[in-house]
Amino acid sequence: MEIQWYPGHMAKAKRELKAILPLLDIIIEVTDARIPKSSRNPDLISLTKNKPRLLLLNKVDLADPVATDQWVNYYRLSGERVIPFNARTGEQLAALEDLINQVGRETLAPKPIWRLGVVGVPNCGKSSVLNRLAGRSAAQVGERPGVTRGRQWVKRGKWEILDTPGMLWPKIGDVETGLKLAWVGTIKPENLDPEELVLNLLGWLQENYPVALQSNYGLTPPEVAGEPYSVLQVIGKRRGCLRRGGEVDLRRTAELIGYDFRQGKLGAITLETTSASHVLP
């Protein structure tokens, strides 16, 4: 399954970020805690490597807490300044604010204003992070990638915070990474075949989180152990995704499962582990 998505506004976002970087003092890189490696844009890391950088594993409420702890330890051992974060509730906001102040004191010359840049891939929660830091709804927030298209500066005390449009890299190197990005909604689902996408997701869940399928869709262990296509059929019947004559509407069923997963209805799930991983340069 080929997954590529690099529309013109992303190339523009990269050019704009390169232009604004000299003005930024601290970079706040926001990732999705469900894919703490795959949601790190290597272009962003390369562009910001000479700036003090904080790494947020956002959406921890949707991720497996055990896996999140492992990723936090992994990145800290790799020298990253990392915090697990929930922009929806503000969990760990005080820790983030303290870390920003600590990094500023340690790395920046005395100045009246510190400029912070919030960066990351689409739909990882950058605008929600900015709103938490600002203490108000200062940036537009949406559940779909591509909501933020222009620069948004927000002032709070001695901070000026810039929210930037989500940015993917031009070519996703492997299918596995592309699938993970698509499953969590970083890549717009309508740009892909929903049935093929969800069949891959079902296969992964059968292997790694079979209980999530059992509990959410009322499947029996033998049903969960079937081929992904048969699991899709069974879920479609159970959820009433039927065409006239009783035939399962596979597309509608796939869209339902994809939505359930992105909203966390299948439980707290992390799609990658720290084993056999590596830190991007």
Residues in the chain: 281
Residues 6+ apart with CB under 8 A from 92: 83, 84, 85, 86
Which of 10-19's residues contact partners 24+ apart within 8 Å by CB, and which partners?
10/165, 10/166, 10/167, 10/168, 11/170, 13/164, 13/165, 13/166, 13/167, 14/43, 14/47, 14/167, 16/151, 16/164, 16/165, 17/44, 17/47, 17/117, 17/119, 17/164, 17/167, 18/47
Answer yes or no: are the C-beta atoms of 161 and 27 closer than 8 Å: no
- The answer on whether 125 is annotated among ligand-binding residues is yes
- The answer on whether 124 is annotated among ligand-binding residues is yes
- The answer on whether 73 is annotated among ligand-binding residues is no
- The answer on whether 60 is annotated among ligand-binding residues is yes
- The answer on whether 128 is annotated among ligand-binding residues is yes
Distances (CA, A) of 266 to 14, 41, 68, 82, 210: 34, 26, 17, 26, 10
Answer yes or no: are the C-beta atoms of 271 and 183 closer than 8 Å: yes
What's the distance, Cα to Cα, between the start and end of the chain in Å?
27
- The answer on whether 216 is annotated among ligand-binding residues is no
Task: Quote the tokens at residue 53.
Answer: 């950088």
- The answer on whether 50 is annotated among ligand-binding residues is no
Distances (CA, A) of 230 to 5, 145, 234: 30, 31, 6
Beta bridge partners of 156: 159
φ, ψ (nearest 5 deg) of residue 110: -55, 130
- The answer on whether 166 is annotated among ligand-binding residues is yes
Please state, in angstroms and rounded to a whole number, the distance separating the CA atoms of residues 33 and 51: 23
Q: Could you tell me which residues are annotated as the binding site?
A: 58-61, 123-128, 166
Q: Could you tell me which residues are annotated as the binding site for GTP?
A: 58-61, 123-128, 166
